[in-house]
Each structure stands twice: as C-alpha cells, then as structure tokens.
Amino acid sequence: MYNNVGTQSGVPIPPTNSQPNPFGNAFYGASSGLIRGGLGAYGEKFLGSSSEYVQSNISRYFSDPQYYFQVNDQYVWNKLKVVLFPFLHRGHWTRITEPVGGRLSYKPPIYDINAPDLYIPFMAFGTYVVLAGFSLGLHGKFSPEALNWLFIKGLLGWFLQVALLKVTLLSLGSGEAPLLDIVAYAGYTFTGMCLAVLGKLVWGYSYYFLMPWTCLCMGIFLVKTMKRVLFAELRSYDSSKHHYLLLFIALAQLPLFIWLGNISVNWLL
C-alpha cells in the first residue's frame, strides 16, 4: 500500500532535473581539450621520431639501390682493373665524400672508383652462369635442371661471401656498413670466376694459372677494402686481431673459388 503513494492523483511529483553546473562543464571542456592536445602532440612526436628512426636505419643499412647503378663505361673498365689487378692501383682506397643536406655523403660510383656498385657483380654473376652452362654443353652434360643448379650454386657462393664479410666486420665491432655495400664487395668474386672459367674453355691448362691468380687478386682487393671500412668506422684499432681476421678473409677465397670453379652437374661439389 505504501508503494502506490506516488501514483495517486493530486499528489505533486518533485522534479528530478538538477541545475546545470557551468564550472563543471568548463573544467571538463578544459581538461578534455588539454588531454587531447597533449596526446596529439605526444603522438605526433612519437610517430615522427619512429618514422625518422626507421628511415635512418633503412638508409644506414640498405642505402639507395639506385646509387649502386650510377656507372659508365670508364668506371666499369677502371673498376675491373682494380678488382683483377689490385696491386697496380696506385691511388688511395678511401671513398670520396660530398656535403648533401647538411651532412657528408659518399659520391656515386660514376665519380669515385672506390665506391661499390652492383652493376658489375650482377653482370659478372650472369656471365658466370652462362659460361658454366656452356662448359657443361661442351662436355655433353647440359640440361635446364643443371643450369638451375648452377644458378643456385652461384647464389649460395655469393651469400657465403656476404656472410663472411659481414660476420668479420661484426666480430671487429664494425656493423655499420650498409648491407648493399657488402653485397657489392662480395659480388666482385664473379669477375675473377668469369676470367678463370673462360680461360678453362679456351685452354684447359690455363685454368690452373688463372684460378690461383684471380683468387689472390680477390683476396688482396677484399683485404684493402675491408681495412678502409674498418679505419673509417672503428674508433679503436686492435692490429693483431684485425690482421688475423683480414688474413682469414684472404685465405677463405681459395676454397670458395675452387668450389665455384668446379663446374659439374652436382652443384654441391
């Protein structure tokens, strides 16, 4: 009986709406605007720093691929002479820098003989696969499957050379060299391989002279190049450790060249 009092006629119902608080609305609007502004500024700062970090690391480790294809005929000829006859290179081995955007940047290969490029490695790799396939054809062992295995063998040899150089730099405390630089330096291996395989096709016995020669020249080229990279990036220099690891790079070229120079159907041999 007590629950029906509010529904009786004639009994006024008290209003339920309270008076608005202008101070509360003002404080709420100010605080929400402050929060939105702070979160927006923090988000812009965070996203901006993150994008700059990603871009800096991409350019630091991968560089611009177009940079490695800025070559001409004169550069290609001079670079081949440096790779195949490194002891005849009388100039310096350091790269040339130029100011770009307020900081120093390396000049492209067309203006610097010591700059790495990817044009010569790719052309040499393709030539190596073609010469190896031609060698199999002369011995009556050519087949599309054998050519595919030779292609994979060449890629594996290129990867092993990249891993050797990268691990050596990391062990010496220098991991700042862009990855495409290391790929380019490792790819010069196929210039000597092309010369050795071509000599084997022309005169079989010349292979036993050209193979050690190109292996020795590649070792000298890599040692001088890696020394330049180390001197440019390391603040401390441990001569004994560096010399042993650079010597290891030079000696590691012999089994790699022998393996790549053995043109057979079984790519593991």
Q: Per the domain annotation, does 251 fall within a domain?
A: yes
**Which range has the top average pLDDT, 50-54, 212-216, 265-269?**
212-216
Contact 149, 206 (CB under 8 A): no
Residue 264 scores a pLDDT above 80:
yes
Confidence class of residue 233 from pLDDT cuts 50, 70 and 90? Answer: low
Average pLDDT over residues 172-188: 86
Q: Containing domain of residue 69, as a range?
A: 61-261
Q: Per the domain annotation, does 33 fall within a domain?
A: no
Measured in residues, the chain has a length of 269
Question: Given this model, what pLDDT does residue 169 score?
Answer: 85
Confidence class of residue 238 from pLDDT cuts 50, 70 and 90? Answer: low
Q: Per the domain annotation, does 76 fall within a domain?
A: yes
Confidence class of residue 182 from pLDDT cuts 50, 70 and 90? Answer: very high
- For residue 24, the one-letter residue type is G
Question: Given this model, what pLDDT does residue 63 score?
Answer: 66
Q: Could you tell me the two tokens for 28?
A: 């709420």
Q: Per the domain annotation, does 148 fall within a domain?
A: yes
**Which range has the top average pLDDT, 41-45, 175-179, 244-248?**
244-248
Q: Per the domain annotation, does 163 fall within a domain?
A: yes
- Report the DSSP beta bridge partners of residue 103: 100
Residue 31 scores a pLDDT above 90:
no
Q: Domains in the chain: how many in total?
A: 1
CA-wise closest residue to 199 among 189, 212, 187, 186? 212
More confident residue, 81 or 27: 81
pLDDT tens-digit readout, 32-44: 555 555 544 544 4
Residue 73 scores a pLDDT above 60:
yes
CA-wise closest residue to 197 among 259, 128, 139? 128
Residue with the two structure tokens 């790779």: 83
Q: Per the domain annotation, does 50 fall within a domain?
A: no
**Which range has the top average pLDDT, 7-21, 35-49, 56-70, 191-205?**
191-205
Question: Given this model, what pLDDT does residue 139 score?
Answer: 87
CA-wise closest residue to 83 among 111, 119, 108? 119
Residue 142 scores a pLDDT above 80:
yes
Residue 4 scores a pLDDT above 80:
no
Residues 6+ apart with CB under 8 A from 245: 168, 171, 172
Q: Which string of DSSP letters, residue by residue, matches 233-247?
A: H-SS--HHHHHHHHH
Q: Per the domain annotation, does 155 fall within a domain?
A: yes
Average pLDDT over residues 197-211: 92
The three-state secondary structure class of 45 is: helix
Q: Per the domain annotation, does 40 fall within a domain?
A: no
Average pLDDT over residues 234-240: 59
